[in-house]
Amino acid sequence: MTRKSRRMRGGASGGLEYLYGLHPIEEALRARRRELHRLLIRRGPSRSELEPAVGMAREQGVPVQQADLEELARLAGSGEANLQGVLLEAGPLPQLRTIRELCCTADAPDRGRRFVVLDGVEDPQNVGAIARVADAAGASGLVLGRDRSPPLSPALARASAGAIEWLPVARVANLVRALSELKSEGFWLLGAHPEGEASVFELPDRLLRGDLVVVLGAEGRGLRPSVVKQLDHPVRIPMRGRVGSMNVATAGSVVLFELLRRSSAEA
């Protein structure tokens, strides 16, 4: 694949990012959704754990260069301990601009599409962890607001273990309007809400078939009232401990894997 064709496939241009960590780099090379400029590896003897990334880069015509560890840390803006001796210089990850684009882009498996919508989740570590869970549970896409959500940065890519390289992301101006548009596209909206009347484990199977959206809110603040009004099924996660809340990525794991369990049982 030529450099020109990589740019066209990536769908984004401008700016450079330095991905670090073996998993995010390998997934970026596999997915090929970004512009790929060069792979930088720590100067010194070859290391076996870097061979897959180096091999993929060379197969795609991406230059492989050596650099001192201090230079890698300077480019990445990260501590040397986080780098694992390798950086990928690349363009930004492309993002979709409308719900319609996301619906047309996302895979549509037999059990129906699953989108995850984040309302005010601003910590890139949390968004990355949710992207990792969403990909593992078979979600078809992620929706973020333009405000109160982080950029798809190298830190977020690392937190997702590279899952964000594969998961289509739509960044929309108005999240409430986006939820309304998803309803018009035939999606049912399910949101994790501590005051939901039903437990996620008690919802009838018939309500979990077809295209579904899982809406998750920021820790502490939760879902905004305007978002809750859009939900078809506000559901709570039953808890028996003394602490009445859980990390948003953990809550997303519970809901998404319950949906996966239900759909797998029906298959």
Domain of 209: which CATH number?
Answer: 3.40.1280.10
Q: What percent of the chain has pLDDT over 70?
A: 90
233 has a pLDDT exceeding 60? yes
CATH of the domain at 9: 3.30.1330.30
Q: Give the pLDDT of residue 267.
A: 55
Q: Higher model confidence: residue 46 or residue 214?
A: 214
Residues 246 and 200 in one domain: yes
Token pair of 7, please?
């740019």
Q: Do 152 and 22 belong together in one domain? A: no
Per-residue pLDDT, averaged over 17-46, amounts to 94
Q: What's the whole-number mean pLDDT along residues 20-25?
A: 95
Read off the pLDDT of each residue in 90-103 and give the average, rounded to a whole number: 95
Looking at the structure, do residues 174 and 255 belong to the same domain, yes or no? yes
How many domains does the chain contain in total?
A: 2
In the listed set 65, 90, 115, which residue is the last one of a domain according to the structure? 90
Return the beta strands (E) in 77-168 as ranges: 86-90, 114-119, 141-145
pLDDT tens, residue by residue, 185-220: 999 999 999 888 899 999 888 888 889 999 999 877
Task: Identify the pLDDT of residue 86.
Answer: 94
| Domain stops at, among 64, 90, 116 | 90
**pTM of the predicted model, to two decimals?**
0.89
Q: Are residues 58 and 185 in the same domain?
A: no
Verify that 52 and 144 share a domain, yes or no: no
Domain range for residue 78?
A: 3-90
Together in a domain, 75 and 158: no
Cα 146 → chain centroid? 15
Strand order in the sheet with 114-119: 169-172, 141-145, 114-119, 212-217, 188-192, 233-236, 198-199
Phi-psi region of 115 (alpha: psi -120 to 50; beta: other; left: phi over 0): beta
Mean local confidence (pLDDT), 129-155: 96
Confidence class for position 239, pLDDT limits 50, 70, 90: confident
120 and 81, same structural domain? no
Provide the mean pLDDT of the chain. Answer: 89
Indicate if 130 and 38 belong to the same structural domain: no
